[in-house]
Chains A and B, each alone.
Chain A
């Protein structure tokens, strides 16, 4: 039986969610990302805004210059997360073989489901319809024998389209497309390939493998296979996370130690809460700093014993921050903290210090309160300073990029 893979991508996801909530935004150039005068980037732009050259990742100031009439929305990550969860729930109703890719797209293995829905095409139509009915969102769908061709097909079918590539026709489907359409070909690779005289995927597919490997290394072989429509990668459930991190960019570069400490504490609390929610403990704490001149550093510290305590995460992070700031006197643009080397819960008992036990009990009690009444319902004194800096909601502080602020 020939494999049938469906790739579903929600069109302009963040903007569409906003438009569902506020129908007046429909048909207008809308940008989600923040205030136009802010230092953030466009997280999502409506198709009307894209007509002005706006795209995700573009600085908001540039977006505002290109399309002054655009409506700029801060956005809300929890709202998008909820919509994404409902989107994934719909997909799991159709096939248990689901591989989410971020919030707004997923692969679905539809092999063998033809007997239930008539055909893979009909299955895709039903998926699109349910998404439209239940979420009010438009989805673009690509169907093919492999993941990479399905993704290219859904991309080509945007917006609100459905494109099926017949089994065995993958190579000919890809052949006339520009190389940039192939997932895995970024700007650098594109430039390299253009330099070799390769502009379309057909040229890439007939390029001798050895020559491609000598220019692109191991990725050359992968791209060669993809260009020939060969992709036997399985649709796999998401792997368990190997690390958890949170970071934020300040609206202005800062040297304000209390603000840095307060932000670090808050981010550490968010990391700790997720760690405990996943039932994991971490052995490595990493601090990330980006200075005003965009130099980015990471400093890490391995704990002698794994921990999921907010206090340990913060104390370790603060130690790293103090050391880093002693070495570099520039203002800080971005601060982040993360945990890695995650281990299953299994706490090492302490011989002398009962305070760790108490601290962990306190963390759990705070988690319960926050689950019931919201993240900001209970706060440590150290993070109170953030009240004057970031807007607050039940979900916590809304940091620099609200649409991505978990």
Chain B
């Protein structure tokens, strides 16, 4: 991450500045860096924040460079902080220890600070929170997966996160173009900071260390966050989102999370507990593969389907979707799709004997089909064959119909 910038509204006062204490505290508490550069001095952020919070007497803080001859600082560089009747000298590297991470934020004071928002701060925070858990934590072979992909095009800002087994995609309305890959570790603290921000503006910047460098900037009324994009090729996520399904279910995720938790309790290993999902007949049946437990959830369903999903993945997917969610699948071994209000989460299933058989049978059928001598070109396909060859998109549209109907208000 580039140096974070705290934009404080205040007035210049000689070589220092005067600012509202509350604003300074607010900005410091939202900052992600551990060290603050203040009037060319480096000070520990947490220490400074605690100190300012503890100051009483006045809401206005004056920060000016201290005279070099001050006895309290032994002639070293220092700043003087004046708040009402309190005056203190803070030396360079105050509240900075050997273990304080070398992350910096710069304090900038200007008479006014206006940010023209182009996305909702809360919406952006929520979008990030729904994508970040699905980025890879420790995939050394594919470091690009440890990033969130920000793509701005066609009036949308799309955030994509994937860990090789799951893929989360969410879009927000946005005017502009750009793309940046930002490491998950650098984005973690931003979610909370954005939740507290009143305004947010997302922009992309070209140039930097390399000609091809790109940066993502998020401005809030108090802080400017800037990250240099990771240089790498992100997978073509659009191709990974399945489009053809054989079964569909719309259900309440709150109840589903309870069901998953109950099955987790029954499993032998709470860290690895697969869950079998069976869809059909207006319900979703969740069960432990060893038949220790089973729960049924009422759902709008279409078609029949079975799939095994890692319990932790299922719980995280349900939590990320929240409220009513749709779940779609084509078979036991292809990607499944959870979706809710413009949010899509692809989850890869676990391979079961049933899925293996299904896969083998389908492969065999394909081979047989390929080995069958071609029909004479003049002969028209018979009706059933034509039916069979149709893509199963029709079922999906029917499923979507269910969802649309569910959203319609009930007529009196």
Contacts and interface: CB of A to CB of B under 8 A. Distances in A.
A341 B166 CA distance: 22
A351 B352 contact: no
A283 interface: yes
A305 B272 CA distance: 9
Contacts of B235: 352
Interface in A4-36: none
Interface stretch (B1-9, B85-93, B135-143): B135-143
Contact of B333 (A283, A304, A346, A349): A349
Contacts of B140: 319
Contacts of B349: 349
Contacts of B320: none
B97 to A, nearest CB: 21
Contacts of A93: none
Interface in A259-306: 283, 304-306
B240 A351 contact: yes
Nearest to B273: A343
Nearest to A302: B271
Contacts, number: 57
Interface string A333-364: 00000000101101111111100000000000
B269 A349 contact: no
Interface string B91-120: 000000000000000000000000000000
Category for how many chain B residues contact A:
20 to 34
B351 interface: yes
Interface in B283-327: 289, 308, 310
Interface residues of A, number: 16
A353 B271 contact: no
User: What's the dominant secondary structure at chain B's contact region?
Assistant: loop
B271 A348 contact: no
Interface string B268-286: 0101101000000000000
Contacts of A283: 271-272
Contact of A306 (B240, B272, B346): B272
B351 A347 contact: yes
A350 B348 contact: yes
A358 to B, nearest CB: 14
A50 to B, nearest CB: 45
A319 B349 CA distance: 28
A351 B348 contact: yes
14 contacts: A283-B271, A304-B136, A304-B139, A304-B165, A341-B272, A344-B289, A346-B350, A349-B165, A350-B165, A350-B348, A351-B162, A351-B165, A351-B346, A352-B162
Interface of B: 136-142, 162-167, 235, 240, 269, 271-272, 274, 289, 308, 310, 333, 335, 346, 348-352
